[in-house]
Amino acid sequence: MKYITTIDEKQYEVEILGPGQVSVNGHVYEVDFQSVSGQPIYSLLVDGQSHQAHVDQGEEGTLQVILRGALYTATIEDEREKRLKVAGGVGTAASGEFTMRAPMPGLIVKVAVEDGAVVKKGDVLIILESMKMQNELKSPRDGKVVRIQVKAGDSVEQRQAMLSVE
Amino acid sequence: MKYITTIDEKQYEVEILGPGQVSVNGHVYEVDFQSVSGQPIYSLLVDGQSHQAHVDQGEEGTLQVILRGALYTATIEDEREKRLKVAGGVGTAASGEFTMRAPMPGLIVKVAVEDGAVVKKGDVLIILESMKMQNELKSPRDGKVVRIQVKAGDSVEQRQAMLSVE
Amino acid sequence: MSNFSKVLVANRGEIAIRIIRACRELGLHTVAVFSEADRQAMHVRYADEAYPIGPAPSKDSYLRMDKILDVAKKSGAGAIHPGYGFLAERSDFSQACEDAGITFIGPRASAIAAMGDKAVARATVVAAGVPVVPGTEGEGSLSDEELLRVAPQIGFPLLIKATAGGGGKGMREVKAIEEMPSLLESARREAQAAFGDGNVYLEKLVEGARHIEFQILADMEGNTIHLGERECSLQRRHQKLLEEAPSPFIDDNEDFRQRMGAVAVKAAKAVNYANAGTIEFLVDKDKNFFFLEMNTRLQVEHPITEEVTGVDIVTEQLRIARGRQLSLTQEQVKMQGWAIECRINAEDPYNNFLPSTGFVSHHSVPTGPGVRVDSGVYAGFQISPYYDSLISKLVVRGDSRGQAILRMRRALEEYRIVGVKTNIPFHQRILEQARFIAGNFDTRFVEERFSLEQADEGRETHPEIAAIVATLVANQQAERSAHIIARGKRDTSNWKWISRWERMHQ
Amino acid sequence: MSNFSKVLVANRGEIAIRIIRACRELGLHTVAVFSEADRQAMHVRYADEAYPIGPAPSKDSYLRMDKILDVAKKSGAGAIHPGYGFLAERSDFSQACEDAGITFIGPRASAIAAMGDKAVARATVVAAGVPVVPGTEGEGSLSDEELLRVAPQIGFPLLIKATAGGGGKGMREVKAIEEMPSLLESARREAQAAFGDGNVYLEKLVEGARHIEFQILADMEGNTIHLGERECSLQRRHQKLLEEAPSPFIDDNEDFRQRMGAVAVKAAKAVNYANAGTIEFLVDKDKNFFFLEMNTRLQVEHPITEEVTGVDIVTEQLRIARGRQLSLTQEQVKMQGWAIECRINAEDPYNNFLPSTGFVSHHSVPTGPGVRVDSGVYAGFQISPYYDSLISKLVVRGDSRGQAILRMRRALEEYRIVGVKTNIPFHQRILEQARFIAGNFDTRFVEERFSLEQADEGRETHPEIAAIVATLVANQQAERSAHIIARGKRDTSNWKWISRWERMHQ
């Protein structure tokens, strides 16, 4: 199986040659890959070097790999250049509309914008209180605020849609 | 639901009166009972006293309760005096024939008895090596050895039947 | 005062467990209280007794003095330990305990009150000859207009701080007068939400400042000592993240340490202090130091002082509360070796440190020589949004600062938590920074000179390894999804289910 | 000797991890080796590199010198640490390392050989003026006939011990000459199986004996010191279970300690010892002490010495192997406080301590002040039958023996392992025994004066609570079985499966 894997804008051609062999950009590695405790922790031996990685689902179908304390965001596409849908991606579209979802359960302290407001990347949209901290949630892009679904005083669940920027 | 629960030969009439209430021999306790981490570890608040118990399946459908480092072996029967079959009991019959099963995987060092041998309680039947120790497995009762299924040098799996005493 | 034998711990999380452990090791019985969100929490299981005190929000449970005092009476607890946060710095609670004939394991109500209002505290210590940072001392309830008027006299940059506050909540930095009105509004709003008190005061921002604090112990007879300092300059948004003892800025300058320590003791004595407390100082690069505030309670970062002095601070608190003398004199206090604490928080360092909640499915803590973990979670615990984000405190001790840093690095690499995001990668980066290793940092270091992305530059990276892992995981997921769909088509027999369940429970 | 920067750890389990941690904290790279049963073991993940060396049985993997030396050469490791067990006391391995130009982190082959043959060892130390227990010294390869002839001269009771042995394997106690032939047979069989050498010798059984051992450190220049003693009398079938430092039998009798320590140093010097080692003594009630044997390696129970002396023994081993001098002199060694170690084994204390294997589904270790856990397992690890049953070493440190005991009690109560049986309840009982608390016990205490059942008598018990728990669990199981069968009748949709899987992996 051949994949194109992008890490921090750099592409790697990764081919799984069989159990225990992987090639990266044509270089063949001996690989022993195991998940630990049935958790998303992986032990990887690459030519004898021992690595431990914690892998989470990222946004837009990416995988977040934490390796020796560093984060790598990976996009994996299969050989026919079709994006591989990894399970459990977060529901923010890559382009078009951005839906702001609650990153954790909490209490809406303030909705800082009104429906139809024009916002710039970095503008505060919502202040959410959780774990005794007030967190300012900012717009990831320029756009227009639509579909505000929460108001100050509301409790929100994790991943609950709060408003959109289009 | 009413049960007769026997701990170390003493009987307790335990009635589950509803969520949060249990009576033992007519005395009613406020009880908050929860399993921890989905494990056979239980947190029990009885009239405010906090107890933590580790519960394992014992032999013959009993439950082994470890509470503050002490072991209690419990037999639970339901109200119609019928023994409650708890899941996963070890397959040794209460009376009649005793089947000796390997308590852990290992290597048979020696079968100390022959088919038909008359043995007394405490006689060594098999020497099993595991975890770098030689373990002498003794007869739990007087009887006659039958159906020897292993010989020196055999590897055995956990719970594999090795011989019987009838 | 009293010879109590049962202690109610009016707190939750790691600090409740810390206190329960200390009580157990002294043969004291313990009583836990818990909110509806905490029935599964460790402190409920570790205590001898445990009683529910209400719904999840703190104001309905851990802040309910009435309910907690009821539990104390019902259970026969002779003393209450408040931990930190919640009711720990509430003078009315200390007073209510005294009125109910229950020993409050902490200072007298008068000392909490005097130090609790930051403005009063400053006035008190100034009267005792302790230097303070220039700011609006006197009254704590100045209006916005008054604050705007006095601000230019103090000079910019300055800080807005919550009068009732602590932990960076309700704190704002002001660079110029123009931005002050909106910052006053947000500071007051946050202070009101956090402490039920929107009052704020102003304080000059000491530039290049280090935050260094002294641990105080004082018994009922007035014997007052310090256990040396803790370096707490590594903060983010005024939240401490990593502390060490001793401070690399003081290091082996014993004369400087004793001078600061003597002033700290003087400040504590100014309010007739008893029990454990902490005097916080700002220190500028010329070694001028200013009283910042006193925390009239056990501090989150107390373990590093324990590790270098060998004094068990919670045990001392219990001794003091029983009316006994301090178990050591100032001369007997020796700092040996070096200790570092990393606060492991449930927050995402790669996403603006947003808090992270969820089910902890795996919790594998580092162990081995010189490593101590004070934790309140376990595999199977649900981290809720109701309380603060501290998962555990990872503390290491070494013979030297260098050894402690290397030990902390290996401990962070070993630490595995699955289910919530944590700031472990942040700590790993900090510990690789040349400036940190050189001990050359101030309270602005994290915000001004550090970012995870910059920190990542120049380090050895492993993008190829990451690419391999990610691809193998994605490949496995794709295969498994296909497999699961295929399997779902078959009927799952009852007996397979049961035998699977049996296996899990044997 | 050499200034190596990469260390191969020729071991597994907790001791491999202990060594890897020490190397990491010194900036040394580490190489792990693993058998087919250990791909998931922690030491594989904690090391910088890891290589397979063969099938699960030790003789095909961890005892394969050739494969291990191959890995060392391939990976460029400049040194090998053997841990304990496996190849640690094989003089031919030490020699093979030297021949291959690889530093063996341990004593020279000649010292291992001299101390490895118990009979030769006794002769050597006797020549140096060290007292030994009467027994068959001279040749180690006496026949059964010869042993039966000499036995009455030594007197009964006596011990049969494996010449190549250690850890109680191949050891038998003989009360009278009649039972000797069959015991000789079984001792030789066990010794052959364990060490590949069926030779045994006889030794007088010192009654009321305590097993007290001294930790030795010696550098390449011959500087040799001791780090005080460890009390190891609490044994079952000659297996140590609980150790403490100092020994309550020596306690503050510093003169006695230094006398024994000086003899221990003398014994080590008799074989020109270098690196870490342990001299074991038997001590009778009149304070006569006899050399028992020398363990020419790191000892399982080394952490308690570290906790009371502050010396990191593994770090010292690495220093010594690099040709550096000891980092401290005998005068600088101070024992402070008290440390206890409980060996947590996978065995069933209620079923004749039979080993227990299985999948560890939950592993929640005690933490907090003064607690150290050296462990080789984690939640998700499969404990196999191939290696010894040690799961972890739970070590506590306290200011006094009393505090250490209370701390160990709370730590044991907190320790939760699910999936295998452990001897934790055994330790809990021991720590409640009046004789143990009084420090009044010898090597026969566990077997002669202690049983879990007797220990349970007279204690506060909670049969009603146990009845409630058991009934509620049984009730829940009955309900759940019914529920599972009911559920199985419905079709399980693909999508439910997938969403469950997603939840687990987010």
Q: CA–CA distance from D398 to each of D140, D211, D244, D364, D392 (Å)? A: 43, 22, 11, 22, 20
8 Å CB contact of D362 and B39: yes
Local confidence pLDDT in tens for the 506 residues of chain C: 568 999 999 999 999 999 999 999 999 999 999 999 999 999 999 999 999 999 999 999 999 999 999 999 999 999 999 999 999 999 999 999 999 999 999 999 999 999 988 778 988 999 999 999 888 755 567 899 999 999 998 889 999 988 877 667 888 999 999 999 999 999 998 888 888 888 898 988 888 899 999 999 999 999 999 999 999 999 998 899 999 999 999 999 999 999 999 999 999 999 999 999 999 999 998 899 999 999 999 999 999 999 999 999 999 999 999 999 999 999 999 999 999 999 999 999 988 888 999 999 999 999 999 999 999 999 999 999 999 999 999 999 999 999 999 999 999 999 999 999 999 999 999 999 989 999 999 988 888 878 777 655 667 789 999 999 999 999 888 887 765 544 444 333 333 333 333 333 33
8 Å CB contact of D406 and C361: no
pLDDT for the residue A83 = 57
pLDDT per residue as tens digits for the range D255-267: 999 999 999 999 9
d(CA D102, CA D64): 16
> CA of D108 to nearest chain C CA: how many angstroms apart?
27
8 Å CB contact of D379 and A37: yes
- Residues of B within 8 A of C16 (CB-CB) are none
Does the beta carbon of A160 lie under 8 angstroms from any beta carbon of chain D? no
Q: C interface mutation test: which of D14, D21, D373 has the most C CBs within 10 A?
A: D21
8 Å CB contact of A132 and C424: no
pLDDT for the residue C285 = 86
pLDDT for the residue C170 = 83
d(CA A154, CA A160): 12
> CA of B21 to nearest chain C CA: how many angstroms apart?
16
* More confident: D236 or D278: D278
d(CA D420, CA D413): 17
8 Å CB contact of D469 and B10: no
- Residues 346-365 (D) with a CB less than 8 A from some CB of C: 361-365
8 Å CB contact of B48 and C51: yes
pLDDT per residue as tens digits for the range C201-250: 898 888 889 999 999 999 999 999 999 999 999 999 889 999 999 999 99
Give the rounded distance of the alpha carbon of A164 from its chain centre.
18
8 Å CB contact of C484 and D504: no
8 Å CB contact of C32 and B50: yes
Query: Where does residue B138 rank: exposed (0-12), middle (13-18), buried (19+ CB within 10 A)?
Result: middle
d(CA D305, CA D292): 20
Of D355, D469, D478, the CB nearest to B84: D478
Q: B interface mutation test: which of D11, D60, D465 has the most B CBs within 10 A?
A: D465
- Nearest residue to A11 (alpha-carbon basis) of A81, A95, A67: A81
Domains of chain C, start order: 6-105 (3.40.50.20), 134-204 (3.30.1490.20), 210-456 (3.30.470.20)
- Residues 115-174 (D) with a CB less than 8 A from some CB of B: 169
- As a whole number, the mean pLDDT across chain D is 90
> CA of A116 to nearest chain D CA: how many angstroms apart?
33
Sign of the torsion formed by the C-alpha atoms of A29, A34, A39 and A41: negative
8 Å CB contact of C39 and B32: yes
Mean of pLDDT values over D29-44: 97
Ranges of beta strands (E only) in D219-359 are 224-236, 239-245, 275-283, 289-295, 338-345, 347-348, 354-355, 358-359
pTM above 0.90, yes or no: no
Does the beta carbon of D177 lie under 8 angstroms from any beta carbon of chain C? no
- Residues 1-30 (D) with a CB less than 8 A from some CB of C: 17-18, 21-22, 24-27
Of the listed ranges A121-125, B45-49, B96-100, C179-183, the one predicted with least confidence: B96-100
Give the rounded distance of the alpha carbon of B69 from its chain centre.
17
Q: From the CB coordinates, do chains C and B have 3 or more pairs under 8 Å?
A: yes
Of D350, D387, D466, the CB nearest to B131: D387
* More confident: A87 or D235: D235
Q: From the CB coordinates, do chains B and A have 3 or more pairs under 8 Å?
A: no
Nearest CA in chain A to D40: A36
- Residues of D within 8 A of A32 (CB-CB) are 39
| pLDDT at A88 exceeding the cut of 80 | no
pLDDT band at D493 (very low <50, low <70, confident <90, very high): very low
- Residues of B within 8 A of D421 (CB-CB) are 56
- Nearest residue to C395 (alpha-carbon basis) of C446, C437, C338: C338
Mean of pLDDT values over D416-432: 94
pLDDT per residue as tens digits for the range D79-102: 999 999 999 999 999 999 999 999
pLDDT per residue as tens digits for the range C114-125: 998 877 898 899
Cβ contacts of C376 within 8 Å, gap of 6 or more: C12, C13, C14, C15, C16, C17, C41, C42, C43, C390, C391, C392
- Residues of B within 8 A of C40 (CB-CB) are 34, 36, 43
- Residues of C within 8 A of B158 (CB-CB) are none
| pLDDT at A76 exceeding the cut of 80 | yes
pLDDT for the residue A92 = 38
Does the beta carbon of A131 lie under 8 angstroms from any beta carbon of chain C? yes
Task: Please identify every residue of D annotated as catalytic.
Answer: 297
- As a whole number, the mean pLDDT across chain B is 85
Main-chain dihedrals φ then ψ at residue B81, nearest 5 degrees: 65, 20
Mean of pLDDT values over A7-35: 92
Catalytic entry in C12, C172, C257, C297 = C297
Whether C297 is catalytic is yes
Length of chain C: 506
Other CB atoms closer than 10 Å to residue D433's CB: what's the count? 17
pLDDT for the residue D488 = 42
> CA of A106 to nearest chain C CA: how many angstroms apart?
6
pLDDT for the residue C505 = 36
Ranges of beta strands (E only) in B1-160 are 2-7, 10-18, 21-24, 27-36, 41-46, 49-57, 63-67, 70-78, 98-101, 106-111, 118-119, 124-130, 133-138, 143-146, 155-156
Nearest CA in chain D to A64: D506
8 Å CB contact of A36 and D380: yes
| pLDDT at D204 exceeding the cut of 60 | yes
C5 secondary structure, DSSP code: S
Of A33, A55, A105, the CB nearest to C385: A105
- Residues 402-441 (C) with a CB less than 8 A from some CB of A: 412-413, 416, 418, 421, 424-425, 428-429
Q: C interface mutation test: which of D25, D40, D476, D503 has the most C CBs within 10 A?
A: D25
Other CB atoms closer than 10 Å to residue D398's CB: what's the count? 21
Of C413, C416, C469, the CB nearest to A55: C469
* Neighbouring subunits of C (3+ Cβ pairs under 8 A): A, B, D
Does the beta carbon of A155 lie under 8 angstroms from any beta carbon of chain C? no
Main-chain dihedrals φ then ψ at residue D345, nearest 5 degrees: -110, 150
- Residues of D within 8 A of B54 (CB-CB) are 416, 418
pLDDT above 90 coverage of chain D, percent: 74
* More confident: D335 or D481: D335
| pLDDT at D486 exceeding the cut of 50 | no
pLDDT per residue as tens digits for the range D121-134: 988 999 999 999 88
- Residues 59-98 (B) with a CB less than 8 A from some CB of D: 63-72, 74, 76, 84, 86-87
Of C44, C378, C498, the CB nearest to B87: C498
> CA of A116 to nearest chain C CA: how many angstroms apart?
24
- Residues of A within 8 A of D8 (CB-CB) are none
- Residues of D within 8 A of B87 (CB-CB) are 477, 481
- Nearest residue to C314 (alpha-carbon basis) of C25, C41, C45: C25
Domains of chain A, start order: 2-79 (3.30.700.30), 92-165 (2.40.50.100)
- Residues of B within 8 A of D350 (CB-CB) are 64, 71
- Can you give the three-state secondary structure of C487-503, one letter per residue? HHCCCCCHHHHHHHHHH
8 Å CB contact of B158 and D357: yes
- Residues of D within 8 A of C303 (CB-CB) are 369
- As a whole number, the mean pLDDT across chain A is 85
